[in-house]
Amino acid sequence: MKMPQKLKIGGHIYKIVYRDRLNNDGTENLGTHDAKNLTIWIDKTLSQSQQEATLIHEIIEAINYGNQLKLTHEQISTLEHNFYQVLKDNFLLK
pLDDT of the residue at 93: 80
* Domain span holding position 50: 6-89
Residue 15 forms part of a structural domain: yes
How many domains does the chain fold into? Answer: 1
* pLDDT surpassing 80 at residue 25: no
Distance (Å, whole) CA 16 – CA 42 = 7
Residue 55 forms part of a structural domain: yes
Residue 70 forms part of a structural domain: yes
Q: Does residue 24 or residue 68 have the better pLDDT?
A: 68
pLDDT in tens, 33-73: 999 999 999 999 999 999 999 999 999 999 999 999 999 99
Crossing angle of helices 48-66 and 73-89, in 10° steps, is 130
Residue 67 forms part of a structural domain: yes
Residue 43 forms part of a structural domain: yes
Distance (Å, whole) CA 51 – CA 17 = 11
pLDDT of the residue at 26: 67
pTM: 0.91
Residue 63 forms part of a structural domain: yes
The three state secondary structure string of 37-80 is CCEEEEECCCCHHHHHHHHHHHHHHHHHHHCCCCCCHHHHHHHH
pLDDT of the residue at 22: 64
